[in-house]
């Protein structure tokens, strides 16, 4: 067997394509035929995620970012191409925050966050401090006893985030986790994510619409074309400075943001 020169990534999407069947009722007034033309969400998309690497997916709405994330999570299968794990055991060791947070409405915030630990067979006493820590990380320690229906959208997203990180997975998959938050909370959670990553060495793949956020958080930014999504550009973010408020104010940060914006614009126009 031959090996490529580059080290095997932690997880990779290899030339994945995804086509969704589209069953659409014909607009009767126009006497149209029922259209079942399939929708190509991804077309030959490549993504490599290294051990402990933070990768941002950036691209226009509908370009297949969530589809790609769901594929890594094993929630949807590629139509062609493959999801390749270096260590197949890691495929089950992931924390996922989906674009629409799915919390059990009948369970408290703490019980929702506890779920992954329960599934791992951890008892209530052993999981309690872990749940408390995760809730503190996302700034919701005081809402442990609340029910999801009593929380704002941004708070529900943060509960979903706590649930994703409570089991200390090897890979975090985050689909626009900070989109619904005010800027101060968003910055705080950005820094928590960076701290967690430093502590645990987790790999992270996250979807964002924010050029600024992608540059602040990521080691590498993958810019995608409009649907069907492919990788249009990859930008490495190598900052000498630690990622902190100082980095946000630095000329290097501004220059990186400009470059990523231009790449996004070029990818969108080319698509």
Q: Minimum distance between the CB of residue 216 and Mg ion, rounded to whole angstroms?
A: 20
Residues 6+ apart with CB under 8 A from 123: none
Q: Scanning the structure block, which residue is given the tokens 């409570």? A: 166
Quote the CA–CA distance of 96 and 262 in Å, as a whole number: 30
Q: Number of residues interacting with Mg ion: please give it, by CB under 5 A.
A: 2
136 with 192: CB under 8 angstroms?
no
CA atoms within 13 A on the CB side of 128: 4
116 with 56: CB under 8 angstroms?
no
Query: Residue 66, interface with Mg ion (CB under 5 A)?
Result: yes
DSSP state of 69: H
Query: Residue 127, interface with ligand ATP (CB under 6 A)?
Result: no
Q: Minimum distance between the CB of residue 115 and ligand ATP, rounded to whole angstroms?
A: 24
Query: Residue 95, interface with ligand ATP (CB under 6 A)?
Result: no
Query: Residue 127, interface with Mg ion (CB under 5 A)?
Result: no
Among 11, 63, 134, 159, binds ligand ATP (CB under 6 A): 63
Contact window for ligand ATP (CB under 6 A) among 3-11, 61-69, 112-120, 244-252: 61-69
Nearer to ligand ATP, 62 or 271 (CB): 62
DSSP state of 174: E
CA atoms within 13 A on the CB side of 225: 16
Out of ligand ATP, Mg ion, none, what residue 190 binds, judged by CB under 5 to 8 A for its kind, is: none
Residue 185-224 contact track with ligand ATP, rule CB under 6 A, x = bound: ----------------------------------------
114 with 105: CB under 8 angstroms?
no
Among 4, 30, 61, 238, binds ligand ATP (CB under 6 A): 61
Among 11, 16, 54, 65, binds ligand ATP (CB under 6 A): 65
- Which tokens go with 246? 């100082």
Residue 228, preceding peptide bond in cis (omega within 30° of 0):
yes
Out of ligand ATP, Mg ion, none, what residue 61 binds, judged by CB under 5 to 8 A for its kind, is: ligand ATP
Query: Residue 38, interface with ligand ATP (CB under 6 A)?
Result: no
Contact window for ligand ATP (CB under 6 A) among 63-71, 154-162, 185-193, 259-267: 63-71
Query: Residue 20, interface with ligand ATP (CB under 6 A)?
Result: yes
- Which tokens go with 117? 């630990």
Partners of 207 in beta bridges: 57, 175
**110: exposed, middle or buried (Cβ count in 10 Å: 0-12, 13-18, 19+):** buried
Binding site for Mg ion (CB under 5 A): 66, 99
Binding site for ligand ATP (CB under 6 A): 20, 39, 41, 61-67, 99, 227
């Amino acid at each position: 067997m031959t090996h490529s020169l580059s080290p095997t990534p932690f997880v990779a999407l290899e030339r994945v394509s995804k086509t969704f069947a589209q069953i659409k009722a014909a607009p009767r007034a126009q006497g149209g035929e029922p259209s079942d033309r399939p929708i190509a969400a991804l077309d030959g998309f490549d993504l490599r995620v290294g051990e402990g690497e933070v990768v941002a997916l950036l691209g226009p709405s509908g370009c297949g970012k969530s589809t790609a994330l769901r594929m890594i999570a094993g929630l949807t299968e590629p139509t062609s191409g493959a999801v390749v794990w270096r260590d197949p055991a890691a495929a089950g060791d992931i924390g996922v925050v989906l674009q629409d947070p799915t919390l059990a409405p009948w369970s408290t915030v703490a019980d929702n966050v506890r779920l992954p630990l329960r599934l791992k067979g951890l008892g209530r006493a052993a999981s309690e401090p872990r749940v408390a820590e995760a809730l503190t990380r996302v700034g919701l320690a005081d809402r442990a006893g609340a029910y999801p229906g009593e929380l704002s959208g941004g708070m529900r997203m943060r509960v979903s985030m706590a649930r994703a990180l409570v089991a200390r997975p090897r890979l975090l998959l985050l689909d626009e986790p900070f989109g619904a938050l005010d800027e101060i909370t968003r910055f705080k959670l950005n820094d928590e994510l960076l701290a967690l990553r430093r502590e645990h060495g987790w790999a992270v793949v996250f979807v964002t619409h924010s050029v600024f956020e992608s540059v602040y958080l990521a080691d590498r930014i993958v810019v995608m074309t409009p649907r069907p999504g492919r990788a249009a550009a990859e930008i490495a973010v190598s900052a000498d400075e630690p990622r902190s408020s100082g980095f946000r104010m630095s000329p290097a940060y501004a220059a990186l943001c400009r470059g990523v914006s231009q790449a996004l614009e070029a990818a969108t126009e080319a698509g």
